[in-house]
Amino acid sequence: MAEVHGRCDERFAAVREALGQQLDGEELGASVAVDLDGETVVDLWGGYRDEARTQPWSEHTIVNVWSTTKCVLALAALVLVERGELDLYAPVGDYWPEFCAKGKSQIEVRHLLAHTSGVSGWEQPFSIRDMYDWPSATERLAQQRPWWEPGTASGYHANNQGHLVGEIIRRIRNQTLRRFIATEIAEPLGADFQLGARESEITRIAPVVPPPPPDVDPRTLDPESVAVKTFTGPTASAKAANTPEWRAAELGALNGHSNARGVMSVLRVLSLGGEVNGVRLLSPETIELIFDQQSDGVDLVLGAPFRWGMGFCLGSPTVPYVPSGRTFFWGGWGGSLAVMDLDRRLTITYMMNKMGGGLIGSSRSEAYVRAVYDALG
């Protein structure tokens, strides 16, 4: 079996075994972390940073975590709620007046967090490089019309949720989303997480390996559907994530850089009632807002049923291995995943460089999450 590094409590030996098995199979390089009731009970890594398998994945390797970034974005919004600076039920226009254009005055902050705003992508033509220009990209979103009636259904805000929520945070705090996450979340929690990647960190990054091509022929899809407009505004590119321009950009939905330990060190504050090691970011009452269900049905972009709360998925048959109850989760393109379980005061995170197919999670994600819950009994 492949060599696995790090530590885990004997109770969770099956997680180590699962990672070893996956490293012998589909996995290239990966890390898995678990916090239970404030104690790190799993902190494992293994495999390689590169496809040639010449550079081992080390304790300090980080990777682009794709939409797992959105979990930290949601936490950032909740921190402002906690401080009385943001009302999730207020119109976006209260903080960002220009956003009211083109019939969007009734869109509330909660609609952005729950993917129900009707603004799930940019109108074409729009490229990945256009995302890097924050002022222009947010101005274009402010000038768009919704693609469906806000609040009536979810349509996953795949690429632009970070710009939408991030612009609100920027307007409130007069600082970039990147700076807010660094100074108000990552640094107080002592977490190895950054939005984008500082130039000094480049040598730690494992390049992402693109997933297999999708089964669907894009030529058979309706170009006017919400899904097609979202996924082509802009069209995602795994190769782009390995460029200096991507790493230098501020993409609040897409380009967090970390590993399982780093993401766990941020998100366990949610599972632990808002406080970690004497640092309190949230009250239990603010965390409870996550469970205010905003939609439950087939997502217009993802094409499968998802139940959305404030910033997190509350359940989906596409991810049956995350148990029901007071749990919420989300992950990134290719399979990275973060699960927060309030009943068990449990946080599970998994980050990797070789991307799998599918909507959310992967068979590898499932193996690790099931191993954790099986150990808990």
- Tens of pLDDT, residue by residue over 298-355, are 999 999 999 999 999 999 999 999 999 999 999 999 999 999 999 999 999 999 999 9
> In Å, how far from its chain's centre is CA 304?
18
Average pLDDT, the chain: 97
List 40's β-bridge partners, or say none. Answer: 35
Which residue, 312, 289, 298, 353, is CA-closest to 68? 312
Domain residues for the domain of 88 are: 4-376
The pLDDT confidence band at residue 219, using thresholds 50, 70 and 90, is low
Determine whether 56 is exposed, middle or buried from the number of CB atoms within 10 Å of its CB (0-12, 13-18, 19+): middle
Query: Residue 195: pLDDT above 80?
Result: yes
- In this prediction, residue 215 carries a pLDDT of 73
Give the SS3 label for residue 172: helix
- In this prediction, residue 214 carries a pLDDT of 78
Q: What is the mean pLDDT of residues 115-119?
A: 98
Which residue, 28, 31, 29, 34, is CA-closest to 12? 34
Q: Which CATH number do you get for residue 277? A: 3.40.710.10
- In this prediction, residue 1 carries a pLDDT of 86
> In Å, how far from its chain's centre is CA 330?
6
CA 253 – CA 235 distance, rounded (Å) = 14
pLDDT digits 0-9 by tens, 236-292: 999 999 999 999 999 999 999 999 999 999 999 999 999 999 999 999 999 999 999
**Phi, psi dihedral angles at 235 (to 5 degrees):** -80, 125
Query: Residue 359: pLDDT above 90?
Result: no
User: Which run of H or of E encompasses 177?
Assistant: helix 177-181
- Tokens encoding 98: 């220009």
User: 47 and 2 in contact (C-beta within 8 Å)?
Assistant: yes
Strand runs labelled E in the chain: 4-8, 29-36, 39-47, 63-64, 194-195, 256-258, 275-276, 279-280, 295-298, 305-308, 313-315, 327-331, 337-341, 346-352
- Residue 66 to residues 49, 120, 154, 241, Cα–Cα distance (Å): 17, 16, 20, 9
The pLDDT confidence band at residue 175, using thresholds 50, 70 and 90, is very high
Give the SS3 label for residue 281: coil
Q: Give DSSP secondary structure letters for 90-143.
A: SBGGGT-GGGGTTTTTT-BHHHHHTT-SS--SPPSS--HHHHT-HHHHHHHHHT
User: 86 and 77 in contact (C-beta within 8 Å)?
Assistant: yes
User: 361 and 337 in contact (C-beta within 8 Å)?
Assistant: yes
- In this prediction, residue 213 carries a pLDDT of 85
Q: What is the mean pLDDT of residues 362-370?
A: 98
Query: Residue 217: pLDDT above 70?
Result: no
Under 8 Å CB-to-CB from 195, ≥6 apart: which residues? 69, 72, 177, 178, 181, 182, 250, 251, 252, 255, 256, 257
Residue whose token pair is 């012998």:
24
Quote the number of domains for the chain. Answer: 1
Torsion, Cα 274 184 314 151, to 10 degrees, reads 130
Q: pTM above 0.95?
A: yes
